[in-house]
Chain A
Amino acid sequence: MKVLVAVKRVVDFNVKIRVKPDGSGLDLAGVKMSMNPFDEIAVEEAVRLKEQGVASEVIAVSCGSAACQETLRSALALGADRAMLVETDVELEPLAVAKLLASIAEREQPQMIILGKQAIDDDCNQVGQMLAALTAMPQATFVSKVTVNDRHATVTREVDGGLETLRLRLPAVITTDLRLNEPRYATLPNIMKAKKKPLDVLTPAELGIDVTPRLALLKLAEPPRRSAGIRVPDVATLLEKLKNEAKVI
C-alpha cells in the first residue's frame, strides 16, 4: 500500500523565539529551521511500514515556501521514496493545509496518511483531523502504536487517563504522538541519495485550492514574565514561606 506522510518546516525546537517589538510577528532572521519533531516520528513510522513490507511506497508532502524542499530532502534521506511540495508564500492555516493534502490524497490514493499530532510552532493540533474529515476517512490521533493488517489498522492512542485501542477501516489518517517510535538519523550516503530522488513542485492554484487565511492575526505578544523568585536554604524555610507568604498550603 501507498503511504503519504506530511512534514512541516518549523523553527527548531531548541530555539528560544523572540517576538518583534512591534507585535507584528516573530523575529525569525537567521533562526535555525528543522522538520517538526512529530513529523520525524511520522516519517519514521512510514519507513518502518515499508521495511516491514506493509507499505510499497512512501510519499512525503510539505506545503509552504520553496525552503520546505530542504525538509522534504530530509524526509527522503530518512527513507521516503519521493516528495511533493505545494509551494506558496501565503501563511497557511491548518484548514488550507488539510485541503491541499486532501487534494493530493485524491490524486495519489494512499491507504494511509501519517501526520504529526501538532506542529510546535502554531501548536494547533488540527490538520490530521481536518484531513480525515475532508477525505471522509477514519482518524486516529495521538497514536503510540500501529499495526496494519490487510484492510484495517489497529492503533493505540494516548488519551487523558490512559490508552485506547481503535480499529480503523483503511484508508485512514493517523497522527503521531511522541512515543510511537524513535526516529532514526539520516546517514551521509542516504543524504546523498536523497538528492537524486524525485521532488515535484505544485501550487495551490494547480490543485484548485483557495488558501486565503480565515483568521486575522491582530497581535503577537511576549507572555507575561514571572518575577524572579528567591532561593531558600532549607526545607523549614520553604515550608514557612509556602504557609505564611504564598499561603498555598
Chain B
Amino acid sequence: MTAPTKVLVIAEHDHVSLKKATRHAVTAALACGSDVHVLVAGHGAEGVALEASRLSGVSHVLHADGPALADHLAENLSTQVLALAHSYSHVLFPATSNGKNVAPRVAALLDVAQISDIISVIDAQTFERPIYAGNAIATVRSGDKVKIITVRTSAFDAVDAEGGAASIERMVTVDDSGLSTLMGREVARSERPELASARIVVSGGRALGSSEKFLDVLTPLADKLNAALGASRAAVDAGYAPNDWQVGQTGKIVAPQLYIACGISGAIQHQAGMKDSKVIVAINKDPEAPIFEIADYGLEADLFDVVPQLAAAL
C-alpha cells in the first residue's frame, strides 16, 4: 500500500478546552498514519486550537472559526469536514455523542462506509470493532479511499497533552445551513471526573431505591476515591440518576482502572459498557447476579451496609 496516509482527527471541545476524548483519538490516528492533523471547528476557540497544537504526535492544526460552527450542529460541521476530507486517507472522530452525530453524515456525503467505535487498528485498512453489545469482535477491512472512523476512547491511551509543536492554519468556514438551530443546553455541572475518562467509577443500580439514596450512599464513596458516578439503565429509567450517567451498550462505554458496581445485576447490555475495566468489584445481595461472573472481587452483601463501611474505611 503506497496510498498517502494523512490522518485527520476532529477535535472534541467546548470552546474553552480540548476534551480528553480527542487525545485518545489521536493515538488511534497515529496507528493509521504518521502525519496526523487536528481540526478544531468552532467559534472563538483559539485557546482550544493552541491546546491541540501542543498535543504530542500532531503535526498540523486546522482552525475553522465561524458563527456557523459555534453550536457543533451536525449539518454545518459535516460540511466543514467534507471540505477537507478529500485530502486525507482517514478522518477520525472520537465516539462521543458529537462524533457519533457528525461522522456518518460526512461518510454519506463522501459515499463511503463508516467504521463505528473501533477498538484497535490492525493496519491502515483493517480495524476491530465490537458488535452485539460487545459479545463479538468483528475485524473489518475498508477499501474506501477515505476512511471515516469513530474511535472508542476507552480502547486507546491518550497522547500527552504537551510536547507537540504543530503549526496552526486558519481555514475558511462554511455558512450556516439554516436547517437546524440550537435553542438551549442543559449541562449537568459536576466537580467530579468525567465518566468516560475517570480512573475509578462507582456505579449504582435499581437497588438504591431513590435518587436521594443513590446520592447519599454512593457520593461519600465516590468522593473518597475521586471517582465518577455511573448508573445502570434501570437506575436511570427509575429516575435515580441522570441519563448521561448511564453505563452500557446504549450509554457510555467506560474502561477505568476500578469499576465498583453497587446493586447492579449485570445484564448483557450493562456489561457491554464496563467489562473492559481493569478491576471490577461487585457488591450485590443476590449471589446469582450475573455481575459476579465478571467481577474480580465479589462481595455478597447489602450495599446499604457495606458501601458506607467501605467509604469510612478509606
Contacts and interface: CB of A to CB of B under 8 A. Distances in A.
Contact of A122 (B78, B131, B258): B131
B114 to A, nearest CB: 5
Interface in B198-248: 200, 225, 233, 236-237, 242-244
Chain B interface mostly: mixed
What's the interface size class on B, roughly? 35 or more
Nearest to A137: B179
Given A133-B108, A215-B113, A249-B225, A13 B269 contact: yes
24 contacts: A95-B114, A123-B130, A125-B116, A130-B107, A133-B109, A134-B108, A138-B180, A140-B180, A141-B100, A160-B98, A164-B185, A165-B183, A167-B180, A214-B112, A216-B143, A217-B139, A218-B140, A222-B137, A223-B130, A223-B134, A231-B298, A235-B313, A246-B279, A246-B297
Interface in A211-249: 213-223, 226, 228-232, 234-236, 238-239, 241-242, 246, 248-249
Chain A interface mostly: mixed
Interface in B260-278: 268-269, 275, 278
A168 B108 contact: no
A160 B96 contact: yes
Contacts of B141: 215-216, 218
Nearest to A229: B296
B312 to A, nearest CB: 9
A131 B225 CA distance: 44
A118 B181 CA distance: 24
Interface of B: 73-75, 78, 96-98, 100-109, 111-117, 126, 130-144, 177-188, 196, 200, 225, 233, 236-237, 242-244, 249-250, 252, 257-258, 268-269, 275, 278-281, 292-301, 306, 309-310, 313-314
Contacts of A65: none
